[in-house]
């Protein structure tokens, strides 16, 4: 235990060169001690990454723990130059595919704050992508959101981590971002606002976190995954509210409902959103009142919406 802390401390306080020098020296004198240090549970992935050329050079891989060997296999696979057509990841890169998920978690968890160099960041970002797209465990979202904000704080590219994060297709991925609206760090708040810009009214809100929470709770049943990305547009909207469903739920009390739905579809996006929000509010207040309201013609609903809006504005 004492030794493994030493490797971490050497890297963090004396730097990478000193760490490499220390390990190379120790290999010459006591190879077993080096292996023991490398296999300590408390070792972080950045240390393994930094020492990977030395490990390769001295042929130490076969002595490493399963975790370290798998991490180095993943690293090698990610950094391999040719990848098209797709290599059959994760099935063939190591003999223990059942451990890959936990090793990926370890890599991202212990490695997200380190910047080291571009190749290192590529490994971490790709590992995050594997977690969110292949394994899709909800617990990993917090881990990847931390990585996302670490990258932003360091002024580094967030492009692929953002893609990885929202590729989870898990609506709960919005929550860790929303919680950053409470951060004392203004840059974190600004980044959270940027990622959540698709929420109508968030930018104008005085209490963005409260606004986000109520928006999330209100729209959760109606959120759909959207197919756009920063590759397609500057305006990323990972989820969209299904205004149609929010407006009518499963309402079909009258034969005229088809006509009403056609009318709803012809409204502008802003009108659809406003009418859907009003419909939801009436439904939450009283279902019987809502059914009565839904039986009115669309024109009457729109007129009522304008009256409500007028009352709200004149307050």
Angle at 126 between CA 123 and CA 127, to 5 degrees: 80
The span of 9-17, 79-87, 174-182, 291-299 binding another protein (CB under 8 A) equals 79-87
Strand partners of residue 135: none
Dig out the tokens for 192 from the structure: 């959270």
Cα–Cα distance, 233 to 279 (Å, whole number): 31
Cα–Cα distance, 108 to 124 (Å, whole number): 6
- Least Cβ distance, residue 132 to another protein (angstroms): 8
Angle at 151 between CA 123 and CA 70, to 5 degrees: 20
- 209 contributes a contact to another protein by CB under 8 A: no
- Of 121, 248, 260, 272, the one binding another protein (CB under 8 A) is 121
Binding residues for another protein, total number by CB under 8 A: 38
- Of 11, 67, 69, 126, the one binding another protein (CB under 8 A) is 126
- Residues 91-120 contacting another protein, CB under 8 A: 91, 118-119
Dig out the tokens for 315 from the structure: 């307050």
Q: Which is nearer to another protein, 124 or 199 (CB)?
A: 124
- 269 contributes a contact to another protein by CB under 8 A: no
Cα–Cα distance, 236 to 258 (Å, whole number): 33
Q: Which is nearer to another protein, 59 or 268 (CB)?
A: 268
The span of 5-13, 75-83, 283-291, 298-306 binding another protein (CB under 8 A) equals 75-83
Residues 105/67, Cβ–Cβ less than 8 Å:
no
- 285 contributes a contact to another protein by CB under 8 A: no
- 198 contributes a contact to another protein by CB under 8 A: no
Q: Which is nearer to another protein, 210 or 224 (CB)?
A: 224
- Of 68, 112, 145, 158, the one binding another protein (CB under 8 A) is 158
- Of 22, 99, 160, 293, the one binding another protein (CB under 8 A) is 160
- Least Cβ distance, residue 253 to another protein (angstroms): 33
The span of 44-52, 152-160, 278-286, 296-304 binding another protein (CB under 8 A) equals 152-160
- Residues 129-148 contacting another protein, CB under 8 A: 129-130, 132-134
- 150 contributes a contact to another protein by CB under 8 A: no
**Torsion sign (Cα): 242, 246, 248, 249:** positive
- 164 contributes a contact to another protein by CB under 8 A: yes
The site string for another protein over 226-245 (x = CB under 8 A, - otherwise) reads -x-xxxxxxx----------
Q: Which residues bind another protein (CB under 8 A)?
A: 77-78, 83-89, 91, 118-119, 121-122, 126, 129-130, 132-134, 154-160, 163-164, 167, 227, 229-235
């Amino acid at each position: 235990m004492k030794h493994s802390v030493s490797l971490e401390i050497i890297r963090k306080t004396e730097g990478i060169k000193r760490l490499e020098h220390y390990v190379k020296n120790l290999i010459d004198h006591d190879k077993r001690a080096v292996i023991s240090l490398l296999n300590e549970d408390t070792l972080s992935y950045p240390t393994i990454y930094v020492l990977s050329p030395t490990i390769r050079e001295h042929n130490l891989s076969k002595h490493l723990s399963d975790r370290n060997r798998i991490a180095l296999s993943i690293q090698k696979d990610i950094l391999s130059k040719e990848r098209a057509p797709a290599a059959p990841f994760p099935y063939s890169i190591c003999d223990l595919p059942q451990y890959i998920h936990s090793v990926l978690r370890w890599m991202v968890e212990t490695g997200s704050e380190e910047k080291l160099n571009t190749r290192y960041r590529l490994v971490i970002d790709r590992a995050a992508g594997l977690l969110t797209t292949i394994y899709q465990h909800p617990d990993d979202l917090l881990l990847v959101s931390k990585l996302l904000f670490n990258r932003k704080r360091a002024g580094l590219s967030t492009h692929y981590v953002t893609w990885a994060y929202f590729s989870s297709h898990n609506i709960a991925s919005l929550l860790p971002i929303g919680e950053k609206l409470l951060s004392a760090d203004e840059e974190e708040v600004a980044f959270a606002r940027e990622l959540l810009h698709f929420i109508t009214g968030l930018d104008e809100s005085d209490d963005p976190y409260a606004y986000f929470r109520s928006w999330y709770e209100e729209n959760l049943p109606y959120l759909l995954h959207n197919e756009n990305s920063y590759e397609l547009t500057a305006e990323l909207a990972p989820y969209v509210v299904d205004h149609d469903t929010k407006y009518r739920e499963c309402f079909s009390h009258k034969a005229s409902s088809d006509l009403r739905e056609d009318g709803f579809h012809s409204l502008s996006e802003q009108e659809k959103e406003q009418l859907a929000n009003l419909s939801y509010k009436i439904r939450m207040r009283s279902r019987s009142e809502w059914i009565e309201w839904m039986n009115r013609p669309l024109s009457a609903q729109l007129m009522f919406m304008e009256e409500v809006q007028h009352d709200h504005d004149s307050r």
